[in-house]
Amino acid sequence: MLPFRSEIRNSPSQQTIKIFLADESLDNEIKAHLEHFVEIDFIEIRESVGQNRADENITVFLKDDVDINKMKTSIESSLWWYFEKDIVDD
């Protein structure tokens, strides 16, 4: 099982990136990890609604005029680095 998955979601107000972690106990740690991106306006941990496999998700709101596709790629790269580093440290 992958440590996370991410999706771009469209809403009437703005696009967001939702991150679903396999281990939800890491939600706050991952939120803190992502806060170093200057392109991110704010991050929330929310309950998931619908047919998701996770009970919670990390919702990332971007600043205006940020390319959401590039940010999704950057966030995913950062998360892969985070999880690989964690595995090496164990």
DSSP reduced 3-state for 78: helix
What is the per-residue burial (b if ≥16 Cβ within 10 Å, else e) of 53-82?
Answer: ebeebbbbbbeeeeebeebbeebeeebeeb
Domain that holds residue 8: 4-89
The domain that holds 64 is classified in CATH as 3.30.1360.10
Residue type at 43? I
What is residue 26's predicted lDDT score, i.e. its pLDDT? 95
Residue 88 has pLDDT above 60, yes or no: no
Per residue in 1-23, pLDDT tens? 799 999 999 877 889 999 999 99
Query: How far is 39 from 53, CA to CA, in rounded Å?
Result: 28
Q: What's the pLDDT score for residue 28?
A: 96
Q: Please, is 89 exposed, middle or buried when counting C-beta atoms within 10 Å of its C-beta (0-12, 13-18, 19+)?
A: exposed
CA 56, CA 37: separation in Å to the nearest integer?
A: 21
pLDDT at 13: 83
pLDDT, tens only, 20-78:
999 999 999 999 999 999 999 999 999 887 665 678 999 999 998 999 999 999 999 99
Q: Cα–Cα distance between 74 and 38 in angstroms, integer?
A: 12
pTM of the complete model: 0.86
Domain count, the chain: 1
